[in-house]
A and B are shown apart, each in its own frame.
Chain A
Amino acid sequence: MAITRIGNPAIADVRGVNFRNIIINGDMSISQRSTSASSITSSGYHALDRHRLAISSLGTWTISQSTDVPTGQGFGKSMKFDCTTADASPSAGDVMWVQHRIEGQNLQYLKKGTSSAEKTTLSFWVKSNKTGTYIAELEDTDNSRHIAKSYTISSSDTWEKKTITFDGDTTGTLTNDNNTSLESHLYLGAGTNYTSGTLATSWASNTDANRAVGQVNLADSTSNEWYVTGIQLEAGSQASDFELLPFDVNLKRCQRYFYTTYDVGTAPGTQSNDDVPQVFAPATNSYFGFIIYYSSPMRDAPTIVIYNPNTGATGSGTTDGNADKSMNTFKISEKMVHVAANNTSISSSASIKCHITASAEL
């Protein structure tokens, strides 16, 4: 039987058809930390996995996982930004963008920094009441270089697909390791420090003034909302159809960067004893601990937060008699963490338990 190759020849020669999307959780299906985070004014991973907000003094936001999606495209979720405190007159240094950080070892096939450097194409669906010019940027953080292109949201409150192709960069190779080498940026607002130059439409050394020239200010009204889904960055000069992955595959890819013992759909800090890790501790011991293995090895040794399943407080666990016990970590690796209560005697034999989150985000 003849085997027929499917997909886009422009990308198949570079990476193949599967796992061509460099962006993880581009369909916004995974949101382990929270499905909605409010009063956001600082940078970080607030809601949806792998999509980081970078912000400096530009309004207050609620970020949520939304079911508002483009019709007939196969998406179930989008990421929504809702402005709750406006900043209609940004200072020069105020700025805000959605950021996706990518490991260098996953990008070697782009051949950046060689004469064979590949073009890349960014595509996504976007919707906002705030029409006008927006900026998408790639930044090579290994070599402090960037390239930016503009796109236009033409119709208010209407899903539109945007496709942007970036040239390959023959300067600056990406380090072949597990740290950030490339970032994609979708700007939502920027002060003059980022808009006063000429947009860097060709690869060049980083110049802040050339990053977001022409960018509208999504923060200028509390009526403003911005939705995005189907973010795909791939090698080549054409956008292929979005690579929809099974939920479990998407979750597993996200868990390389963030893992939680809470059930899927339960935000860390929730009072919940469902599936809580625990160990039986004899009454005579004053030190007891146990090991929690993550679902798969993480990118690097992660930062651990210990949660009390009864109260949701951090830094403590509890016994099955509901006595709170201060808990710490005594070994953190890419595969497991040893959590323990130290110098804390218990009056009778009991189980001690805690939830954790482990973050090895870029």
Chain B
Amino acid sequence: MNRDFTSVTKFYDREGDFINYLVVENGITSQVPLKEGNTDYQAIQEWAKIEGNNIIDPGA
């Protein structure tokens, strides 16, 4: 039962460090920390393995 994210985008802070994922799902925007114990972070890793799903990287 994989999640159906509309988009997943890397979010960078002002120093150019990748710090969170910016996620849109069911019309709701959320920010997911880069922590392996976070179940949304886990779901993003599984979602990204599926062909056709891509994490957007706008760059720092």
A76 at the interface (CB under 8 A from B): no
When C-beta atoms are compared, the residue in chain A nearest to B11 turns out to be: A328
Kindly supply a per-residue 1/0 record for chain B positions 1-44, scoring 1 wherever the CB is within 8 Å of any chain A CB and 0 otherwise.
Answer: 10010000001011000011011000111111101011110000
Partner of A303, one of B1, B11, B27, B38: B38
- Expressed in whole angstroms, the minimum distance between the Cβ of B21 and any Cβ of chain A is 9
Assuming the A-B contacts A56-B1, A330-B13, A332-B33, are A303 and B40 also in contact, with contact meaning beta carbons closer than 8 angstroms in the complex? yes
Is A302 within 8 A of B37, CB to CB?
no
Is B39 within 8 A of A314, CB to CB?
no
Assuming the A-B contacts A43-B1, A342-B14, A359-B40, are A328 and B33 also in contact, with contact meaning beta carbons closer than 8 angstroms in the complex? no
Is A332 within 8 A of B39, CB to CB?
no
Kindly supply a per-residue 1/0 record for chain A positions 166-181, scoring 1 wherever the CB is within 8 Å of any chain B CB and 0 otherwise.
Answer: 0000000000001100
Is A299 within 8 A of B37, CB to CB?
yes
CA distance A158 to B19 in the complex (A): 52
Is A329 within 8 A of B20, CB to CB?
yes
Assuming the A-B contacts A56-B1, A330-B19, A332-B20, are A301 and B35 also in contact, with contact meaning beta carbons closer than 8 angstroms in the complex? yes
Contacts of B32 in A (CB 8 A): 303
Is A303 within 8 A of B30, CB to CB?
yes
- Expressed in whole angstroms, the minimum distance between the Cβ of B51 and any Cβ of chain A is 20
**A-B contacts at CB below 8 angstroms, number:** 56
Is B1 within 8 A of A304, CB to CB?
no
Is B31 within 8 A of A329, CB to CB?
yes
Contacts of B13 in A (CB 8 A): 330
Contacts of B30 in A (CB 8 A): 303-305, 314
When C-beta atoms are compared, the residue in chain A nearest to B13 turns out to be: A330
Interface size, chain A (Cβ < 8 Å): 28
Is A315 within 8 A of B1, CB to CB?
no
Assuming the A-B contacts A328-B11, A330-B13, A332-B20, are A301 and B31 also in contact, with contact meaning beta carbons closer than 8 angstroms in the complex? no
CA distance A313 to B4 in the complex (A): 20
CA distance A302 to B39 in the complex (A): 9
CA distance A361 to B39 in the complex (A): 7
A291 at the interface (CB under 8 A from B): no
- Expressed in whole angstroms, the minimum distance between the Cβ of B8 and any Cβ of chain A is 12
Is A315 within 8 A of B38, CB to CB?
no
CA distance A93 to B3 in the complex (A): 17
CA distance A362 to B11 in the complex (A): 24
Within 8 A of B (CB), among A273-318: 287, 299-306, 314-315
Assuming the A-B contacts A301-B38, A302-B38, A303-B38, are A315 and B29 also in contact, with contact meaning beta carbons closer than 8 angstroms in the complex? yes
Partner of A300, one of B1, B11, B31, B38: B38
Within 8 A of B (CB), among A245-263: none
Assuming the A-B contacts A43-B1, A305-B28, are A178 and B33 also in contact, with contact meaning beta carbons closer than 8 angstroms in the complex? no
Interface centre among B14, B20, B28, B29 (most CB of A within 10 A): B29
Interface centre among A178, A300, A342 (most CB of B within 10 A): A300
- Expressed in whole angstroms, the minimum distance between the Cβ of B29 and any Cβ of chain A is 4
Give 30 A-B contacts (CB < 8 Å), ordered by A residue. Answer: A42-B4, A43-B1, A54-B1, A178-B37, A179-B37, A299-B37, A300-B35, A300-B38, A301-B33, A301-B35, A302-B33, A303-B30, A303-B32, A303-B38, A303-B40, A304-B31, A305-B28, A305-B29, A305-B30, A305-B31, A306-B29, A306-B31, A314-B27, A314-B28, A314-B29, A315-B29, A328-B20, A329-B20, A330-B13, A362-B39
Interface of A toward B, CB cutoff 8 Å: 42-43, 54-56, 178-179, 287, 299-306, 314-315, 328-332, 342, 359-362
Further pairs besides A287-B14, A330-B19: 16, Cβ < 8 Å: A179-B37, A300-B38, A301-B38, A303-B33, A303-B38, A305-B29, A306-B29, A314-B30, A315-B29, A328-B11, A329-B20, A331-B19, A332-B20, A359-B40, A360-B38, A361-B39
**4 closest cross-chain pairs (CB), A and B:** A315-B29, A300-B37, A301-B33, A332-B33
